[in-house]
């Protein structure tokens, strides 16, 4: 989208070429002007004898103008409907997130809540914000048919530069001229070159986790389900919406969202309205302007540009005036057509398309700012705990690539009692006792943090305070962590690898 100001009667707009419809119409206007010059020099008398009355051509010009205005009107309706539905998505998903968090935290007695209940609430809020942000990201990428996952990055209000709202800032210096030339001469269309003029990267609260990247790279488990119709990546938004519903229902089963039943039902309806608005946007993104009308308009323009030089040569006596009139008339008609084609598909990467990356950034900021007002004080401590846990998991993931070392299990016991020490035996029942900061102590802390999460199948994670679905082919470290959690809950002796 191009941002402009209407100062000095809007005259500075005439000097802007980036994103303008005139440069793409310039080629056809120049061809018509050249044809006029050739006819005026070599065959003016014959043409003047053949064409005595321009009335029929005036009628034809009126029909072409009517067809162009009608197409431009329908294209603007598509553009405005797309922007309206996008704002509906933003509003509904924001309302759903904020009201769900408010209902969950507002129905808790935070003073009497146990540590596990507090962690469950923190995990739910973090997971909900992450998944709603991921849902909006996949909506935007699906609308502009961009299925690359490497353009998803972690949202950071403090250090990240917001995506450009004005496409004029997305291309600078030589890049601007390169994009301008490719666009004017349709080089990208001829050679299928992807030259985006909008920012591709879209932020997500908490980023895209490795297991999510793996899951959304291939949404179906068997080749038989993939079919022959094409990519299934366009269904990612629906997959995330299913996960949000699962998270919502699990939270209710955990004892959260203890508010009035009509309010709980209404929250689900708000999310459904957002998905319905996404369906409207998908309709616009996947339904082109009707082919017969587009073909007729292009044929009318081609005929107009070919016949206009004959009419101008018949009724204009000066060469310079004939060339000028042909150029201006054809430029006007073709520019109207270019405006229509620009507006009928607002979800792409052209300068005048909607800045979807910026909308995602602002959407995330709105959620974070609103949820921050509802957070209890102890969420700060749980954030720090989640960040430490994410750092450990990241270190474990990096170490998993190294060859495993075979080391014996060491039984860690509590120090013997005084009487037992005097007798020389090993003391009483073994209990876990680890140095601060050791892997075993982190595992024990992790067991306590994940006890409630293990009950519903989510492993607590991430600096975003988010949870992860359990991995399906767990590593040795994952098995150790799981056994540590179970052993800690039973009060058993923990084997520790050193």
Q: Which of 214-223, 417-426, 439-448 has the highest mean pLDDT?
A: 214-223
How far apart CA 270 and CA 267 sit, in angstroms, is 5
Query: Cβ-count burial of 331 within 10 angstroms (0-12 exposed, 13-18 middle, 19+ buried)?
Result: buried
Averaged confidence pLDDT in the chain? 77
In tens, the pLDDT along 164-185 reads 777 766 666 666 666 666 666 6
Sequence length of the chain is: 498
Q: Which tokens sit at 361?
A: 């950034």
3 state SS of 497: strand
Q: Please work out, in degrees rounded to the nearest 5, the angle formed at the alpha carbon of residue 69 by the alpha carbons of 65 and 73.
A: 175
Q: Which residue has the higher pLDDT, 193 or 322?
A: 322
State the Cα–Cα distance between residues 205 and 304, nearest whole angstrom. 53
Position with higher pLDDT, 163 vs 30: 30
Q: Which residue has the higher pLDDT, 47 or 82?
A: 82
- Residue 245: partners with Cβ closer than 8 Å, 6 or more residues away: 268, 271
Residue 14 has a CB neighbour count (10 Å cut-off) of 9
Mean pLDDT of 2-31: 83
pLDDT computed for residue 224 by the predictor: 61
Q: Which two tokens stand for residue 104?
A: 């969950």
Q: What is the DSSP letter of 167?
A: G
Q: pLDDT tens digits for 319-358?
A: 999 999 999 999 999 999 999 998 988 998 888 889 999 9
pLDDT over threshold 80, residue 87: yes
Domain boundaries, the chain: 381-400+409-418+432-497
Task: Give the C-alpha distances (Å, rounded to integers) separating 65 from 24, 28, 337, 396.
Answer: 18, 17, 10, 67
Identify the pLDDT of residue 93. Answer: 96
Task: Tell me what pLDDT residue 222 has.
Answer: 60
DSSP 235: G
**Model confidence band, residue 132 (pLDDT cutoffs 50, 70, 90):** very high
User: Would you give the DSSP letter of residue 234?
Assistant: G
- The closest of 102, 466, 91, 95 to 268, measured between CA atoms, is 95
Contact 415, 426 (CB under 8 A): no
Instruction: Band the pLDDT of 388: cuts 50, 70, 90.
Output: confident
Q: Do the bridges between strand 466-468 and strand 495-497 make them parallel or antiparallel, or are there none, so unpaired? A: unpaired
Mean pLDDT of 9-16: 81
Residue 237 pLDDT more than 50? yes
Over residues 368-395, the mean pLDDT reads 84
């Amino acid at each position: 989208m191009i941002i402009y100001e209407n100062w000095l009667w809007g005259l500075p707009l005439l000097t802007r070429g980036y994103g303008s419809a005139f440069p793409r119409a310039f080629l056809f206007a120049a061809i018509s002007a050249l044809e006029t010059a050739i006819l005026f020099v070599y065959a003016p008398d014959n043409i003047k004898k053949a064409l005595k009355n321009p009335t029929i051509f005036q009628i034809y010009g009126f029909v072409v103008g009517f067809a162009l205005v009608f197409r431009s009107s329908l294209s603007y309706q598509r553009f405005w409907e797309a922007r309206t539905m996008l704002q509906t998505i933003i509003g509904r998903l924001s309302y759903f997130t904020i009201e769900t968090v408010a209902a969950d935290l507002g129905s808790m007695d935070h003073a009497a809540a146990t540590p596990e209940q507090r962690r469950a609430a923190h995990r739910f809020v973090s997971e909900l914000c992450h998944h709603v942000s991921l849902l909006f990201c996949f909506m935007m990428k699906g609308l502009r048919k961009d299925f690359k996952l490497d353009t998803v990055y972690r949202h950071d209000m403090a250090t990240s530069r917001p995506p450009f709202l004005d496409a004029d800032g997305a291309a600078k210096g030589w890049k601007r001229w390169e994009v301008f030339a490719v666009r004017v001469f349709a080089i990208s269309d001829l050679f299928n070159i992807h030259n985006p003029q909008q920012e591709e990267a879209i932020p997500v609260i908490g980023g895209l986790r490795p297991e999510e990247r793996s899951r959304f790279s291939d949404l179906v488990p068997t080749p038989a389900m993939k079919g022959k119709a094409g990519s299934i990546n366009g269904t990612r938004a629906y997959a995330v919406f299913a996960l949000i519903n699962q998270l919502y229902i699990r939270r209710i089963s955990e004892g959260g969202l203890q508010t009035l039943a009509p309010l709980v039902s209404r929250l689900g309806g708000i999310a459904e309205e957002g998905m319905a608005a996404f369906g409207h946007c998908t309709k616009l993104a996947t339904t082109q302007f009707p082919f017969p009308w587009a073909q007729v308009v292009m044929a009318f323009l081609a005929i107009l540009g070919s016949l206009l030089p004959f009419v101008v040569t018949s009724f204009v006596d000066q060469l310079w005036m004939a060339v000028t009139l042909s150029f201006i008339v054809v430029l006007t008609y073709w520019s109207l057509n270019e405006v229509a084609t620009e507006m009928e598909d607002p979800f792409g990467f052209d300068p005048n398309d909607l800045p979807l990356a910026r909308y995602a950034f602002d959407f995330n900021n709105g959620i974070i700012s609103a949820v921050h007002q509802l957070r209890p004080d102890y969420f700060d401590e749980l954030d720090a705990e989640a960040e430490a846990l994410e750092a450990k998991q990241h270190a474990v993931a990096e170490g998993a690539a190294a060859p495993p070392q075979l080391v014996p299990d060491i039984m860690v016991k509590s120090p013997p009692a005084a009487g037992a020490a005097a007798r020389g035996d090993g003391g009483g029942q073994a209990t876990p006792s680890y140095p601060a900061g050791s892997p075993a102590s982190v595992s024990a802390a992790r067991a306590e943090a994940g006890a409630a999460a293990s009950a519903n199948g989510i492993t607590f994670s991430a600096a975003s305070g988010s949870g992860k679905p359990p991995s399906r082919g767990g590593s040795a470290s994952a098995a150790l962590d799981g056994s540590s959690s179970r052993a800690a809950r039973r009060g058993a002796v923990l084997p520790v690898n050193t």
